[in-house]
Amino acid sequence: MPGAEPPLSPTAEDEPLSTDPANRPSHLTDRIRTELVRRGPCKVPPGFVFSRNESDGRSCHHQYFRKILVSGEKMARSWLIYSVKNNSLFCFCCKLFSKRNINLTSAGMANWKHASDYLTSHENSPEHLNCIKAWKEQSVRLKSGETIDKLEMALLEAERVRWRAVLTRLTAIVQSLALRNLALRGHTETLFTPSNGNFLKEVELMARFDPIMKDHLNRVERGTANQNSYLGHHVQNELIDLLSSKIISSIVDDIKQAKFFSVILDCTPDISHTEKLLVVIRVVSLMEKPHIREHFMGFLEAEESTGQHLESMILTRLEELGIPFEDCRGHSYDNGANMKGKNKGVQARLLEKNPRALFVPCGAHTLNLVVCDAAKGSVDAISYFGVLQKLYTLFSASTQRGPY
């Protein structure tokens, strides 16, 4: 219990509790930290005269202790403290809660030429925002009922809401491009350049009409959101992965609800000559009204094309997805020896594990046919009648063999 702790010793702990942050050690005990939070940051008196650097004659300014909001309103930087000993600035909350070693937490920031930009960048950094949150929360706990700096908390909340809104829009753009099978990236990742790709072009278009995206791009261009613009290719890939896992999880729900399923498999080399095993799962979906659905579950990289290896890949994939193989009622693939072989083929191995999973050869599989376009490495699951339609279209377009 904090209340049960003895009072701080004025002799042994006087140094860490000094009003000058330069006297405080980098590592603080919880007790010292709590006491410093209780005391709060020391303010610089209004008429205080800052000492000048001998080298360039520059000095700290009172204006650094205030930030100007977009509305033009001035707001005190309550977290900024000054060290007379080092003639430098420290961040009160980062010095207490951050593990990062930066100027504002170690020796102090005394680069007066770039102080304004540095402070703006620091106060927008996620690490600083987390430290402010930790500081304010501890302060609330200590004061238990006393009012806290509501404006600062409101700003933090507004920042959280803003980022959520930006990410919602970026996710929607990735989803929209993925649905149309369009590439996201271009030759550059610079905004407002001609070849920056579909993703950034959609972002730019949205910013023309949407105030949140417009504000975000303004921040990125001003450099205030430079490190966290969320427009780079790593974020795009992460969003694609998250969307993919969400879609797979929804498909798995559909399969589990249907309970019984069949598997359609085929191997094809891609453009880099790597053998890829594609997996399609076919179910009678009960999500809306009962109807047959085929779900493409992705490509698996086949290091070997032996029946044993392919069987183990399929079973591992089903296990990863949490789909029990004992509910499988059919499997269908081409007539390769490794697939349909009666002794060592995938069909024999799967039948041994689950005799109820009937094997349907691809040739007899009249309702659905998996067409692999090996040159492009893409796969379409289309109906048998779809193939007929394509053949008809091909021949009907021929000048030599038009429809009669």
Site of interaction with Zn ion (CB under 5 A): 91, 94, 128
CB-based contact 80:66 (threshold 8 Å): no
Q: What is the 3-state secondary structure (H, E, C) of 260-300?
A: CEEEEEEEEECCCCCEEEEEEEEEEECCCCCEEEEEEEEEE
Shortest Cβ 173–Zn ion spacing (Å): 32
Q: Identify the residue whose tokens are 């729900």.
A: 253
Q: 150-179 vs 211-222: helix axis angle to the nearest 10? A: 100
Shortest Cβ 134–Zn ion spacing (Å): 11
Q: Which is nearer to Zn ion, 128 or 331 (CB)?
A: 128
Shortest Cβ 324–Zn ion spacing (Å): 52
Question: How many Cα atoms are found within 13 Å in the side-chain-facing hemisphere of 38?
Answer: 12
Shortest Cβ 108–Zn ion spacing (Å): 13
Cα separation of 124 and 148, whole Å?
A: 20
Shortest Cβ 124–Zn ion spacing (Å): 10
Shortest Cβ 375–Zn ion spacing (Å): 55
Signed CA dihedral, 106, 109, 111, 116: sign only: positive
Q: Which is nearer to Zn ion, 91 or 318 (CB)?
A: 91
Q: Which is nearer to Zn ion, 98 or 229 (CB)?
A: 98
Q: Which is nearer to Zn ion, 81 or 91 (CB)?
A: 91
* Strand 328-333 with 261-269, pairing: parallel
Taking CA atoms, 35 is separated from 7, 17, 82, 128, in Å, by: 10, 8, 19, 20
Task: Return the amino acid letter for 174.
Answer: V
Q: Which is nearer to Zn ion, 121 or 193 (CB)?
A: 121
CB-based contact 271:223 (threshold 8 Å): no
Shortest Cβ 128–Zn ion spacing (Å): 4
Q: Which is nearer to Zn ion, 131 or 263 (CB)?
A: 131
Q: Which is nearer to Zn ion, 120 or 354 (CB)?
A: 120
Helix, strand, coil % in the chain, rounded to nearest 5 = 45, 15, 40
CA torsion angle for 247, 165, 191, 122 (degrees, to 10)? -120
